[in-house]
Homo-oligomer: A and B are copies of this chain.
Amino acid sequence: MTIGFIQNSPQFGNKEANLRDVTKLATGLTCDLLVLPELFATGYTFTHRDEVYQLSEDVDGMTIQTLKELSADSGAILIAGWIERDGDRVYNSSVMVYNQQVIGNYRKIHLFNRENVWFSPGNREPQVYDVNGTRIGMMICFDWFFPEMARTLALKGARILAHPSNLVLPWCQKAMVTRCLENNIFAVTANRIGSEQRGEDSFHFTGGSQITSPKGEILISAPTDSAYVGVVNIDDSEADNKSLNPFNNLWKDRKTEYYSL
């Protein structure tokens, strides 16, 4: 199967322009799975909770409508970060869209820094979705810092971690090699580029979107400073074989009786 990402450069608050930009980047693209960054349509650096609410949407909003169109045009399972509105709460979420349907949604459970002010923390267990012959788990950006997150999704059977991100710390891309090795899983980390300086925050986003294999190979790595579309061909079933050698199997070797977690 073919899996890919779009690395974009959102203009803060300008959803129409950002959706148009991503649609343009995806023109002519066909693949089986396509991952977009965290909050790809809105930007990241908020100054007030009202601003976040104004930019939030439900499943009938323009962001998910655009993702449905991108999915139809590319044939891909589309996964992307969005601001999800649910009553008076807003979540930093990742949605999965395929075949004109919302297949799944994940509300970020490990909020980073002032996201704790802007968003409600995820209140649902992370799930793995069985879709179009593969199994996908979603995690968002800072979730990488907690090994339990990728582990949970891998133990639930995910072959691929779809990982929309807005990375500002220098470590994630290298850490994903460890995450993929320790779980024998693929990961698509879709990051954004550019800088935002608003209110008390100033962020530079590191680009370098990356697809990593279960053997820790970086199959593709995007530039740090330009929009980019990356697609690779993989055999996702490689993620199912947790044996490293005739004596080691990553799942059977776990000594849960000696862990204190």
A177 B174 Cβ-Cβ under 8 A: yes
**Contact between chains at A182 and B145 (CB < 8 Å):** yes
Bound: A112/B247 CA distance, A: 7
Q: Is the CB of A181 within 8 A of B177?
A: no
Contact residues of A between 151 and 191, Cβ < 8 Å to B: 151-152, 155-156, 171, 174-175, 177-179, 181-182
Proximity bits, A241-261, B CB within 8 Å = 1, else 0: 000010110100111101111
Q: Are A258 and B113 also in contact (CB < 8 A) when A146-B253, A178-B171 are?
A: no
Number of copies: 2
A216 contacts partner chain B, Cβ-Cβ < 8 Å = yes
Query: How far is B181's CA from A171's CA once the two chains are assembled, in angstroms?
Result: 9
A223 at the interface (CB under 8 A from B): no
- Check A245 against B113 for contact (C-beta < 8 Å): yes
Q: Is the CB of B152 within 8 A of A259?
A: yes
Contact of A116 among B110, B178, B216, B247 (CB under 8 A): B247
Are A254 and B146 within 8 A (Cβ)? yes
Task: Report how far A92 CA is from B253 CA in the complex, Å.
Answer: 16
Minimum distance in angstroms from A101 CB to a CB of chain B = 25
Contacts of A109 in B (CB 8 A): 255, 258
- 8 Å CB contact of A247 from B113, B148, B178: B113
Q: Which residues on B sit within 8 Å (CB–CB) of A256? A: 148, 261
* Cβ-defined contact, B247 with A126, below 8 A: no
Across the interface, which residues of B come within 8 angstroms of A111, CB to CB?
247
What 5 A-B pairs are tightest by C-beta distance, nearest first? A147-B147, A148-B259, A178-B178, A175-B178, A116-B247
Q: A113-B245, A147-B151, A148-B259 are in contact. List 13 more A-B contacts (CB 8 A).
A: A110-B253, A112-B247, A113-B247, A114-B247, A116-B248, A146-B253, A146-B254, A148-B256, A152-B261, A155-B261, A174-B177, A178-B178, A256-B261
